[in-house]
Structure 1
Amino acid sequence: MVQGDPPMINWPAFRGGYVNLGGVVSMSGGTANTTSLLRVMNERAVFAEIFRLGRVSRPELAQATGLSKPTISVALADLERAKLVRPVGLRTGNAGRAALLYEVRPQAGWVLAVDIGRAYVRLALADLVGEIVARRDEPSRAESYDEVLSQLSKIAGELTAEAGIARGDITLSVFGTPGIHDKETGVLRLAPNLPGWEQPGAAERLADVTGSPYVVENDVDLAALGEGAYGLGQGISHFVYVSIGTGIGMGVVIDGKLYRGSRGAAGEISYLPVGGGDPLAGRGRGMFESVASADGVVAAAARLGLKAATAKDVFEAARSGDESAAEVVAAEADHIAHALAGVTAVLDPELVVLGGGIGAQAGDLLIEPVSGRLASLVALSPPRIESSTLEPDTVLLGALAFGLTTARDLVFERAVAATPFG
């Protein structure tokens, strides 16, 4: 699974005494002695391996962690007492005594994944092992900031009720949004498709959706995590996910980790100086986005006399043999190739995953000409280009992958805070 950097978590309701992700645990009651710290570290390692491996036996855990079997037994007893893991039967069929298997207790934590888009909002509630227990997709009320918040709160209430839990039981909510979350002001920057979110404190009001800890992440970055965890990016250390649709953005994975840049703006390729014009000037968009996004495709078609209400109409016309539509597609492919030439020169990715409404749905028309044009623009052989197979759920799956990894640490530390192991 592709990992992101430790997230900046907001805590509207959590009052556990401390927050610590991935480091040595400190306890609010005083300094723990060396033995207690080692014990907690062992339990963290065992819990992480059960989370990674699924149903697993004590000998398998000893092999995976390098810990002794007696240490594994103590750790499992503590984790079971904290209701983080549970025994799930025996593995039979091999010579010798049957091995008792353990797994993460699914109800030990809950993750709410949220994709806030211009056209749709998508929410999924999953238990700690990633099983989605409730989900909703609805047309977004993005034209009004207050209405979309109300919509998200309503859906979150429906999902938790369906799962039989309270909103406060959610361990972590992960919100995927366009633009960049300015953590100092709470503003969403570079998100013109979500009016109202540029006001100070806007992102912080997401705390009202569930009242539980939450993270706000760029939607395209989450999509890259989704591809790394569940899609074409699995097992690939260097790849980019390029979303082309209502807007344009890119998620960058380097050495298997999400790269955000110094201010979280890595991948804002909508502002690349690509396209040779700006037909949508004055709408807060960069040059590349102005010509290659869905609106840019429709505008290009209109200049050629082709009446199309959506970019999808243009691509359908091209598939039907319309010459004007084919000319628009050729121009679109050229714009994308020039943008990817810059990306390739700087990042040298092994794979480019095209997503979004255009990238994923028009791959049959775009991948071959983009690949051909890109080969003439870069010094070495171009990266492989493929269309995402996860759309329209890429952002949601990325939020889920991000949330599950983080929630695992949170439930562990809550258990330590509530009842120190040992």
Structure 2
Amino acid sequence: MEEVPWNRQRLRSNNEWLLLEQLRNAGPASRAQLARDTGLSKPTVSSALAALQRNGLVREMGTMVPERGRTAVLYEPDPTAGYVLGIDIGRANLRAAVADLSGKVLARTDIANKARTAIAVADIAVSAAEQVCETAGVTADQVIHAALGSPGVFDPQDGRMHFAVNLPGWGRAGLLDTIRERLGGPELSVHNDANLAALGEYVFGAGRGSRLFVYVLIGTGLGVGIVSQGELFTGAHGAAGEVGFLPTTFGAPETEAPRRGALEEAVSAEAVVKAARAQGMTGRLTAKLVFEQARAGHPIAANVVRQEGERVALVVAAVTAVLDPDVIALGGGLGHSADLYLDEVRAALQRSTPLRPQVASSELGDDAVLLGAIATALRIARPQVFDRRAGN
């Protein structure tokens, strides 16, 4: 491998990035504290901080009076150096939010997704992004990166989303490019929703501190997101965690061959409604209503939820056997009521495997995908902002 030549500019740039990340991870600090924490000399810290402040990357945020010595100025990363956008596209709902570089959400919107075509969904997504930026007072050219999450697997080769069966037409050629163009300023990256939910839950929720974290998204579809040592694991083609395509004979005659995608059909919200109807519940049913009835003590609803727990347990047991995670979080629309079937899932694990991951409900609820999109956009945008402003 060719050795990168040393030069003074590269060294200065590395020192500035080191200080910026130290402030981001450890919080506001004085020059003396930064010198102690990083091992850099005080003159080097002073010079690097001056450059960072001159380029709008750090700012003074107050002073500290030590027990001995002079008053010290405290520095922090300037959160207004750039902004990021997160978009969560689901079959039932669409969410968007804009955040500054500290990760603080400045504005967000939640919209019922009643669109009947992929083009209409794209229109709503762009409109929602424009709305939150306007509310936050952020212009398109100030947004450095936008991350979009949706069901399916994004293929960077053809620029299309595949396997998004709950969003008809979502995989059509050119659709995502149209969204990019209409957003105007920011770059746009596209991600599987379960992957973003896993990252969001890892950074902000139940997965904090986990070595190998798995998020099981159960809603209109079924998906798994995997975070190993803080990084998403997406597989060779981006399809890792697409457990909804596993075959199963749930709800099918014994003579019927297993079908591709049947596990999603057996575990998702639609399966809950079908099971409730099959057992005698009537009226206009939704999975949410069935779970509410189960919580109120309705015997048929309670039995349906117990069966759902058995099926979720199969997913959890399979994931546990293959990945050996230390923490698994259940999220998505049905994850909100995971407390009703967590005991069933844990009991099934006791019966089926000697592995004992911690199984818990999502802490972020409906916000997991959106916050994962924000976290992803921040990971991409922060070094880009540094490179642009530091002149690298």
Structure 1 residues 49 and 172: CA distance shift in structure 2, 3 A? same
Q: CA deviation at 1:33?
A: 6.1
Q: CA deviation at 1:163?
A: 2.4
For 2:64 and 2:327, locate their aligned partners in 1 and report how far apart those are by CA, in whole Å.
40
Q: CA deviation at 1:162?
A: 2.3
For 1:129 and 1:267, locate their aligned partners in 2 and report how far apart those are by CA, in whole Å.
30
Q: Is the 8 A contact 1:113 1:399 kept in 2?
A: yes
Residue matched to 2:331? 355
Q: Is the 8 A contact 2:30 2:75 kept in 1?
A: yes
Give 1:270-309 correspondences, 5 Å limit: 270-277=244-251, 286-307=261-282, 309=285
User: Quick one: which amino acid aligns to residue 349 of structure 1?
Assistant: P
1:204 aligns with 2:177: yes
TM-score by length of 1: 0.86
In the alignment, structure 1 segments of 5+ residues that lack a partner are 1-25, 27-31
For 2:10 and 2:252, locate their aligned partners in 1 and report how far apart those are by CA, in whole Å.
59
SS at 1:250's partner residue? strand
1:311 aligns with 2:303: no
For 1:66 and 1:376, locate their aligned partners in 2 and report how far apart those are by CA, in whole Å.
52
User: Quick one: which amino acid aligns to residue 407 of structure 1?
Assistant: A
Structure 1 residues 272 and 137: CA distance shift in structure 2, 3 A? same
Q: Is the 8 A contact 2:86 2:377 kept in 1?
A: yes
For 2:334 and 2:252, locate their aligned partners in 1 and report how far apart those are by CA, in whole Å.
19
Q: CA deviation at 1:275?
A: 4.8
Residue matched to 1:193? 166
Residue matched to 2:320? 344
Residue matched to 1:321? 297
TM-score by length of 2: 0.92
Task: Select which of 97, 101, 111 maps to 2:74.
Answer: 101
Q: CA deviation at 1:326?
A: 2.6
State the percentage of identical aligned residues: 43
Does 1 or 2 have the higher relative contact order (CA < 8 Å, sep 6+)?
A: 1
For 2:314 and 2:249, locate their aligned partners in 1 and report how far apart those are by CA, in whole Å.
8
1:173 aligns with 2:146: yes
Q: Which deviates more, 317-326 or 261-270?
A: 317-326
Output the aligned Cα RMSD.
2.0
Structure 1 residues 246 and 62: CA distance shift in structure 2, 3 A? same
Residue matched to 1:132? 105
Residue matched to 1:7? none
In the alignment, structure 2 segments of 5+ residues that lack a partner are none
Deviations 1:283-307 (A, max 9, x none): x971111111000111111222222
Residue matched to 2:205? 231
Deviations 1:43-66 (A, max 9, x none): 111112122223121122223322
Aligned residues: 383
For 2:12 and 2:127, locate their aligned partners in 1 and report how far apart those are by CA, in whole Å.
42
Q: Is the 8 A contact 2:309 2:341 kept in 1?
A: yes
Structure 1 residues 416 and 33: CA distance shift in structure 2, 3 A? farther
Q: Which deviates more, 238-247 or 53-62?
A: 53-62
Q: Is the 8 A contact 1:168 1:210 kept in 2?
A: no
Q: Is the 8 A contact 1:338 1:377 kept in 2?
A: no
Structure 1 residues 327 and 124: CA distance shift in structure 2, 3 A? same
For 2:358 and 2:115, locate their aligned partners in 1 and report how far apart those are by CA, in whole Å.
35
